[in-house]
Structure 1
Amino acid sequence: MTKEQFSQYSFLLDRTARRVKQYAQQHFKSGAFDVTVDQWLVLRRLGEHDVLSQSELAGLVFKDQPTLTRILDILCKKGYVERTPHPADRRSIQVNLTNQGHEKIKELKPKVATIREKAWENLDQKDFEEFKRILNTIYGNLEQF
């Protein structure tokens, strides 16, 4: 592949990722979801785990600590998340969903699924399999980071 082709494909990948996030954010705002896309990602990851340290959560949502701290501050104020001291490590904070947070996830999952489905329109199973293979290859190429 030439540098020009590589540049074009990288641009397309970045552009598409931005468009997907913009589309979702627009629907989150207009749908009165009460959370942003980034806040949703945090809630969703917390919903997959009982308790996570703040550093574990940062890794799962690909956010740096200061950004995650701001997101968690907002989610705590909204009553969706709570922080507690780690029982074995005073320097560590654990994060978990409140009952209200679990309810918010239940409420939003079908709405988020509808938003995601729009991006996948006009693609068939073969497209999905090839897309998955390509993305997994790219991810694997960078896995050591």
Structure 2
Amino acid sequence: MSDNHNSAGAWAKKYHLASRTMIERILRPYDLGSTQWYVLYQLAHQGPTPQRDFLALLQIEKPTLSDVVSALVRKGFVEQTPDPKDQRQRILALTETGRGLWETLPDPIALILSIAFDGVDSDTLDLVATVLRNATERLNNYAPEGNET
């Protein structure tokens, strides 16, 4: 019998949970959650973005996105404006306050990577990324017989 608690999948999940905990710990003093940080990241690096694009980018449901955006708007970090091409849609952009916050925020992803993978050579990191990417794609594309979607 194999030890599923010591499998690659189990360790991927443990790494994910440890990373999420660290992100939350890093962002807590700024009153931000990880999803809020990812929205700010997108806006800081890509500029104004249609709100609907975040559903696929963050792989979250519409009500969750609405809550995240509402919190960022309430805090004054993000503004919502109607899309000039479709008034029913919203465009998100950083406010001046949001840009100021972004410039002071630590990068939790860079910090996690530097701690977790200190001393690991780039060939090994490339291999790990390839294995996990392929496994994720296989799982996302898998449809049991009779359950094709």
TM-score, normalized by length of structure 1? 0.81
**Which structure's CA Rg is the greater one?**
2
**1:76-91 correspondence runs (5 A):** 76-91=73-88
Q: Aligned AA for 2:27?
A: F
Q: Relative to structure 2, which stretch is displaced further, 7-16 or 43-52?
A: 7-16
Alignment-derived partner of residue 15 in structure 2: 16
CA 1:133/1:80 → structure 2, altered by over 3 Å: closer, same or farther?
Answer: same
Whether the aligned pair in 2 keeps the contact of 1:82 and 1:96 (CA below 8 Å) is yes
* Structure 2 gap segments, 5+ residues each: 143-149
1:70-101 Cα distance to aligned partner (Å, 9 max, x none): 11111111111010111121221111111221
| SS of aligned partner of 2:81 | strand
Q: How far off is 1:109 after superposition?
A: 4.2
Q: How far off is 1:134 after superposition?
A: 1.5
Confirm whether residue 65 of structure 1 aligns to residue 62 of structure 2: yes
CA 1:86/1:144 → structure 2, altered by over 3 Å: closer, same or farther?
Answer: farther
Give, in whole Å, the separation in 1 of the partners of 2:108 and 2:83.
Answer: 34
Alignment-derived partner of residue 127 in structure 1: 124
Superposition RMSD in Å: 2.6
**1:1-145 correspondence runs (5 A):** 8-29=7-28, 32-110=29-107, 113-141=110-138
Q: How far off is 1:55 after superposition?
A: 1.1
Whether the aligned pair in 1 keeps the contact of 2:47 and 2:93 (CA below 8 Å) is yes
Give, in whole Å, the separation in 2 of the partners of 1:121 and 1:69.
Answer: 37
Q: Relative to structure 2, which stretch is displaced further, 52-61 or 101-110?
A: 101-110
Alignment coverage as a number of residue pairs: 142
Q: Relative to structure 2, which stretch is displaced further, 95-104 or 135-144?
A: 135-144
TM-score, normalized by length of structure 2? 0.79
Give, in whole Å, the separation in 2 of the partners of 1:81 and 1:142.
Answer: 35
Q: Aligned AA for 1:17?
A: H
CA 1:103/1:86 → structure 2, altered by over 3 Å: closer, same or farther?
Answer: same
